Structure 1
Amino acid sequence: MRAVQITEFGGPEVLNVVDLPDPVPGDGEQLFDVATAGVNYADTHQAENSYLAPQTLPLIPGAEFVGTPAGGGPRVVGLLDGGGYAERTATHPRLTWPVPDGVSDEQALAVVLQGATAWHLLRTSAHLAAGETVVVIAGAGGVGTLAVQLARRWGAGRIIATASSPEKRALTQELGADATVDPALADDDPKAFAAALREANGGKPVDVVLEMTGGNVFSGSLSALAPFGRLVTYGMAARQETPAVPPGALMQRSRAVIGFWLAHCMARPEMMDDAMTELLQLVEAGDLRPVIGGRYPLSAVREAHQDIRSRRTTGKLVLDPRR
């Protein structure tokens, strides 16, 4: 089979398309033919070995796919520990879900990891209450575009999205954001970024921040929180160390910092079932709009990683393993 293999850690240049034997399913696993593979920002960390779980070489990246069981069967979308950037992959059927006929491969991939993350960020971690102000960092990204829509659907009082260009900020408003902020304000001064978030909220602090950048964006977001506000952190896109948060800084305003990683939901598949059932139904009904950022041939995997790292993309990126 054709697959993307990494034999040394680094940037997009370490992604090589090679011919490899088909994977051998482990205990309880099943072999699947991959029609479309999803690309996530976390994959760029996996290539560098800079993410939460240490990687072992050689490896095939990719945490999600749409395909069919080898030998035939219904189309499913599934999650993986790795191995998605390939013509075939193996995973436990418990981590796959049927794709409704009215949902495309790209749409299914948009919701299985990024959509489920947005769902759990708001419901499980932040416990969003009706009327609260929600800040979505990287609101034009794969998680962000869905989080903006879900926050609106679930009764957020005001939604503020950050995005790095006028076009991306306009997209977030089209999806339901009430106001936007340029995250570049945090580059030199997290206080300026915090002030911009409060200004976008009518001069008041905010209730919930979904944060995936780290560094100054994290610090500014934390400063912008109201009493009983929650900052949910789920990424490290800035590749910067985030300053430590002293307990007193949380107690002074009754603020909370919450970490989230979807891998822990994968270990409890029933948590994924709740999210996937609702998300796929919303997409099929036309009530949730996944933004598709591009479909790349497997042979252009380096370009896909370069584009997502340089913020040239919006929404969901996917790979076609047959090209």
Structure 2
Amino acid sequence: MKAAIITSPGDGPRYGEFHEPEANEGEVVIAVTAAPISPVVRTRASAQPISAEGDGFVAGVDGVGTDATGRRVYFLFPKAPFGALAQRTLVPEALTVPVPDGLSDACAAAVATAGLASWVALTRRTPIQTGQTVLVTGANGSAGGMALKVARHLGAGRTIAVVRTHEKLKGLPADTGIALDAPDADDRLKAVFDDGVDIVLDFVWGSVAERLLAAATAGRGSPAGEPSRRYLVLGTLGGATVPISGYGLQSSGLEILGSGIGSAAVADYLSSVGELLAVAQREGFAPPHEVRPLSDVESVWKRSSDVRYVIQP
């Protein structure tokens, strides 16, 4: 079968022939119809070790396809060395969820890869309360844009989009937008935290988080106690580490949490994706994505993550 094969993690995948999967008890072979290239797909492909045999592995952690009965399913975490970016893959049957009728394969894959992180964050890690204010970093990206829609759907009273440059604010579904290249950006960040931000969904971390954390903790320390605020780290595209002021945390109500596999169980992701896909069908969620054939995987692998590619074998 054709697949996106990793034999040297730093070089990305090559398009070629890989051996066919065979299911054992509790497993199912999925005929893949749509699989996304997301930041986590790239990260895992660059970190996963090559087997001693040296024949590599197939990239991709999730997607949509059909099982042996013809049922359309979303699947997570194929069994190594198989991956989602192939004509067929091998998945534990327990890690599949039905895809609603009326939602195309490519759209279902795009919705899941873009929206699942924020859905899990706002329903499992820190369940949102109606009327709360949610701030999203990297809001111009596929996941960030979906996070704004997910937050509003789940009851946010106000949404704030934070992006790096002014032109990236165009068309975002947020009540307030802040571009970090503006001369008054740090003052505006301080002002929105003064007004009240309940939840931060940070897809960027790095220097962006450093500025947000400074704005969230500066000038705090009320004798009456500061309001509770939760800062959820969902991605680290802007850098893996951030300097944090211990005093700033002591004097504010800020709590920093991670949200991802490990801080949330795989079972939470499976139940969440079922909920998200059902809502996507009703609400018409359709995050921007570009469909490309599997044969193009080498050319699109290292392109900007602002575009979410969905591969169709």
Fold shared per TM-score above 0.5? yes
Cα deviation for residue 165 of structure 1 reads: 5.4
Letter of the 1:112 counterpart: A
Unaligned runs of 5+ in 2: 51-55, 218-226
Q: Kindly indicate whether residue 216 of structure 2 is the aligned counterpart of residue 220 of structure 1.
A: no
1-structure distance, mates of 2:272, 2:122: 11
How far apart are the structure 1 equivalents of 2:168 and 2:26? 43
2:286 aligns with: 290
Q: CA deviation at 1:244?
A: 4.4
Once the 2 structures are TM-superposed, how far is the Cα of residue 162 of structure 1 from its aligned partner? 2.4
Q: Using a 3 Å threshold, how does the CA distance of structure 1 residues 258 and 2 change in structure 2: closer, same or farther? A: same
- Structure 1: where are the runs of 5+ without partners? 50-54
Q: Compute the displacement of 1:133 (Å).
A: 1.8
Matches within 5 A, 1:139-178: 139-164=139-164, 168-173=168-173, 177-178=174-175
Q: Which residue of 2 aligns with 1:232?
A: 232
1:29-69: CA deviations, max 9, x gaps?
111111111111112222332xxxxx111221111111111
- Hey, what's the Cα distance between the residues in 1 that align with 2:112 and 2:99? 10
Shift of 1:149: 1.0
Question: Distance between the aligned counterparts of 2:65 and 2:110, measured in 1?
Answer: 14
- Is the Cα–Cα contact under 8 Å of residues 113 and 262 in structure 1 kept in the other structure? no
| Shift of residue 26, structure 1, vs aligned partner | 5.0
Is the deviation greater in 158-167 or in 293-302?
158-167
1:119 is displaced (CA, Å) by: 0.8
Aligned-residue offset at 1:89: 0.4
Of structures 1 and 2, the larger Rg is shown by: 2
* The one of 42, 61, 64 aligned to 1:63: 61
TM-score scaled to structure 1, two decimals?
0.82
Aligned mates of 2:280, 2:40 — CA distance in 1: 24
Find 1:278's aligned residue among 268, 275, 279.
275
Question: How many residue pairs end up in the alignment?
Answer: 296
Cα contact 2:206–2:241 (8 A) shared by 1: yes
2:92 aligns to what? 92
Cα deviation, 1:211-256, whole Å, max 9, x if unaligned, reads: 1212111112222337411110021112x24224355432210210
Q: Could you say if the C-alpha distance between residues 217 and 256 of structure 1 is closer, same or farther in structure 2, counting changes exceeding 3 Å?
A: same
- Taking the TM superposition and a 5 Å limit, the aligned residue runs for 1:238-317 are 238=238, 240-245=239-244, 247-262=246-261, 265=264, 267=266, 269=267, 271-285=268-282, 287-309=283-305, 311=306, 313=307, 316-317=308-309
TM-score, normalization by structure 2 = 0.84
Cα distance in structure 2, aligned partners of 1:220 and 1:232:
15
1:128 aligned partner: 128
Q: Deviation of residue 90 (structure 1)?
A: 0.7
Report the more deviating stretch, 140-149 or 96-105.
140-149
The residue number in structure 1 matching 2:189 is: 197
